[in-house]
Structures are given as C-alpha cells and as structure tokens.
Amino acid sequence: MNNVLLIARRELSAYLRTMLGYIIVAVMLFILGILFNAWAMSGTAKKSAEIIADFFTLASGCTLVTSAVLGMPLLAKEREKGTIQLLFSAPIRDWEIIVGKYLSALVFLMVYLGCSFYMPLLVMAYGKVSAGHLAAGYLGLMLVGSVGAAFGTFASALTKNQLVAVIISLVLVIGLTVFWFVARITDRPLTDAVTAMAWYAHFTPFGAGLVHAKHVIYFCLVSFVALFAATRVLEARRWT
C-alpha cells in the first residue's frame, strides 16, 4: 500500500505542476456550463429536483470523458520519455503502478467535480434541493469517473503515444455508451442484457437521488476489469 500511495503522490504532483490537467478540466467545465445553461436551466418551468437531475445527466457524460482523457498520460508519457524503465527497475509490483496512477487520476478528477458544484448552488439559491440528492448524484459521478479513469489507464498502458491513448479510451467510452442506444431498439430478453451493460442505465438512479448496491457493484466491476487488463498489459510490456 505504501508503494501505491507513493506512485499516486508522484503522479498527482505531476498533474499539479503541469497545465494539461487544468486545461482538460477547464474545457470540460466550460462545455458542461454551456450544456447546463442551454438544457437544464432553459425551457419550461421545472422543479429544482428536475433541474438537478438534468444537471447530473449532463455531468455524467462530461465526467466520463474528462476522467478518460485525464488517464491519457499516466503510462503513455512514461514510455514516451523512457522513464518507464525506472519504474520497472524499482521494487514495485505492476498492479501497484497501475493502481497508484489510477488513484492519482481519481483524486485530480475531484478538482473537476468540486468546481462543478457551483451549478447546483445556483439551483439551491432559488429553490430547494435535497442534500441527499446531491450526495447520491456526486457519488454516481465519482463512480462514472472511476470507470473513465480505468479506461484511460488501460488505454495509456497500450501505447506510448498520448494521442492514440486518448482515442482508444474515448472509443471504449463510446462503446460502453452505445449499449444504451442498442437497448432501446431491441426486444426482450436481449434488451435486459444490453441494458445491464450500459453505464448510463446504472447511473440514472444516482441522478434521481437513489443509491442501489447493484449499480455501485457494476461501476466497481467495470473499473476492476479495466485495471486488471491494464496490469496484464504492463506485465507484457515489461519484457518487450
């Protein structure tokens, strides 16, 4: 565990020293703000709970993309600069490298989530919003972000080109999103099976202020599978 925390602290300091992470967060917050103003805050009169639910719907997609892109440099940068050999020569296991880097992306994602809180505050200033609804929604966003960061880590382990890593992670994100649309045009029992694989179907209850164990397990399981795959890739890369 000490090695994991050491890697996480090292990678987090890299995020904080460079502008890339801040630029990614700023761009996605700008996009989220525009979408929030154009969709959630406009149109017919809505209840505060409905506006918050719309906010979490918009924020979930932005969070998934943000976390996936944040995972871009985690391993690709190390291989590009040749510093990955320093990690391989250190007394650190492969899974500790993966988990440490993954945790750093999650911690930095909290900067994005924290900055997004001004939007619910705008709703709270003019209406009544349940603290439980906000807590459930942000828990859901963090779980969505965990999947995106795991995808980004896996993609970053596959290549030394950061641009290619972004493309791979976004393809994985799109693939997991397509299940939701496929489920809407299929019939049972295929519909239920496809819906169970769609991340948005599992996030919707969080956006409505509800927390169910099966949805938490889904996000944790997808994140685990992606991180396990990243570990296996890193093990293979060690000998090439």
* 138 residue type, one letter: Y
Q: Reply yes or no on whether the pLDDT at 140 is more than 90.
A: yes
Residues 6+ away with beta carbon under 8 Å from 235: 94
Pick from 26-30, 77-81, 120-124, 183-187: least confident? 183-187
CA distances from 155 to 70, 92, 158 (A): 11, 21, 5
Could you tell me if 64 and 199 are in contact, meaning their C-beta atoms sit under 8 angstroms apart?
yes
Q: Give the model's confidence band at 137: pLDDT under 50 very low, under 70 low, under 90 confident, else very high.
A: very high
* Total tally of structural domains belonging to the chain: 1
Residues of the domain holding 27: 2-238
Six-digit token string for 145:
């972000």
* 142 residue type, one letter: M
Q: Reply yes or no on whether the pLDDT at 234 is more than 70.
A: yes
Q: Reply yes or no on whether the pLDDT at 10 is more than 80.
A: yes
Q: Which residue has the tokens 């943000």?
A: 66
Q: Give the model's confidence band at 72: pLDDT under 50 very low, under 70 low, under 90 confident, else very high.
A: confident
Measured distance CA(170)–CA(65) in Å, rounded: 7
Q: Give the model's confidence band at 239: pLDDT under 50 very low, under 70 low, under 90 confident, else very high.
A: low
Six-digit token string for 220:
């944790």
pTM above 0.85, yes or no: yes
Bigger pLDDT: 69 vs 179: 69
Average pLDDT (145-162) is: 89
Q: Reply yes or no on whether the pLDDT at 15 is more than 90.
A: no
pLDDT the model gives residue 158:
87
Q: Percentage of residues in the chain with pLDDT exceeding 90? A: 33
| Mean pLDDT score of the chain | 86
pLDDT the model gives residue 191:
75
